[in-house]
Amino acid sequence: MLQPYASHPEHSRGRRYAEAPAPTRDDYQRDRDRIVHSTAFRRLVYKTQVFLNHEGDLFRTRLTHSLEVAQLGRSIARELGLNEDLVEAIALAHDLGHTPFGHAGQDALNDCARRADPGGNGFEHNLQSLRVVDELEERYPDFDGLNLTFETREGILKHCSRRNAERLCAAEPGGVAQRFLDGTRPGIEAQLCNLADEIAYNAHDIDDGVRSGLLTLQRLDDIPLFASFSRAARADHPGLGGRRLLFESVRRMLSQQVYDVIAATREALQERRPRSASDARTMPALVCFSDGMQQRGAELKKFLHENLYRHPQVVDTTQRAKEAIRELFDAYVAQPSEMPAAFANQTDQVQAVADYIAGMTDRFALKEHQRLTGRNLF
């Protein structure tokens, strides 16, 4: 039931290294399976989303976040006649390049890489996700990486600085980074994954925020979007409170955002009428929220920034995480032989140290930090 503007595996721009087709799976299904079996995917279970991995067993990790993005993305894709398997592949891979300790880790690693090599690439997690699937996974006899299709790789490279886009295009002319130079959009399934990512983290950060005690149900009523669903839930279930009220409100909020994306995207498709997947790439973003939902989503994000991501307790953890990354980086640059040989023997030392640190889980990074500095930051 794929629509003409969906990505059809038989029209894929293919893989970087030619391979015979699989007998029972199409190319996007095969991409998804390669991602699930990769080493980087298994590491996601011990990587921070917002709360550090050791802070509690029930908080989201990069793995459970990625599964939620895939679930939301597939639901929407099915309804719109888009390619569910491609959505799933992109969603499961979209965070593979994340460092330990969430955004704090990424910012610290970027600062370190720029300081050590001012003319270099710095560190961008989207670019690193592509690096993981293109270069760093070692699973095949004939090539590095997972050799995924163009469409999955394009979705994984969600953002990219102009400088890095130029560098990628020099190595792969007209490839997955070309759109950052041309100002075009990625395929419609990649567009969908970006919104599914947003819907997922806005909802689960509310849930994790309350679980951690940093947010309260009363405070959440300051978010107009959340408050409307919590009011409706209480009207339907008088006396409902506590976790069940939280879950019911979040559930309604998630559903409403999904319905909103479906309706707004249908409208955009009606208006623009893309005839093919490549046609869709040249148009303004087709997968979208309604203006009203966009606005309410922005308020929700602002609330989470002010009250959760910048909460003194989160900021304190963030500072320590950054310190751990900086000290690990300096230790490996000073003494590359502290890294496994595959990294220590690379010619581009800054890139090798960044690759090694980015691949670490939270707990491995802390263990290494303690081994190299003798200090325990947490």
At its nearest, how many Å lie between Mg ion and the CB of residue 204?
Answer: 10
The footprint of Mg ion on residues 79-98 (CB under 5 A) is 95
- Least gap, CB of 197 to Mg ion (angstroms): 4
3-state secondary structure at position 48: strand
Footprint of Mg ion on 58-77 (CB under 5 A)? none
Looking at residues 105 to 134 of the shown chain, list those that interact with Mg ion (rule: CB under 5 A). none
Shortest distance in whole angstroms from residue 374 CB to Mg ion: 34
Minimum distance between the CB of residue 158 and Mg ion, rounded to whole angstroms? Answer: 9
Nearer to Mg ion, 95 or 248 (CB): 95
Alpha carbon of residue 271 to chain centroid: 30
How many Cβ atoms from other residues are within 10 Å of residue 375's Cβ?
Answer: 10
Nearer to Mg ion by C-beta: 70 or 214?
A: 70
Indicate the SS3 state at residue 70.
helix
> Is the Cβ of residue 95 or residue 368 nearer to Mg ion in the bound state?
95
Place of tokens 């951690």: 212
Assess contact for 225 and 297: CB atoms under 8 A.
Answer: yes
CA distance 269 to 326: 47
Structure tokens at 354: 């960044």
205 binds Mg ion (CB under 5 A): no
**CB 95, min distance to Mg ion, A:** 5
Q: Which is nearer to Mg ion, 67 or 283 (CB)?
A: 67
Q: Is 197 in the site for Mg ion (CB under 5 A)?
A: yes
Query: How many residues line the site for Mg ion (CB under 5 A)?
Result: 2
Of 132-140, 196-204, 274-282, 336-344, which part binds Mg ion (CB under 5 A)? Answer: 196-204
Closest contact distance (angstroms) between CB of 256 and Mg ion is 21
Q: Which stretch binds Mg ion (CB under 5 A): 75-83, 123-131, 191-199, 303-311?
A: 191-199
Residues in contact with Mg ion, shown as a per-residue x/- string from 344 to 363 under the rule CB under 5 A: --------------------
Question: Which of 151, 173, 177, 149 has its CA nearest to residue 14?
Answer: 149
In the bound state, the residue with its beta carbon closest to Mg ion is 197
Nearer to Mg ion, 73 or 274 (CB): 73
- Asked if residues 210 and 242 have their Cβ atoms less than 8 Å apart, the reply is no
Q: What CA–CA distance (Å, rounded) separates 331 from 353?
A: 10
Distance in angstroms (rounded) separating the CA atoms of residues 3 and 348:
45
Nearest distance from C-beta of residue 94 to Mg ion, angstroms: 6
The per-residue DSSP string of 238-304 comes to TT--HHHHHHHHHHHHHHHHHHHHHHHHHHHHHHH---SHHHHHTSSP-S---HHHHHHHHHHHHHH
Which residues of this chain interact with Mg ion, rule CB under 5 A?
Answer: 95, 197
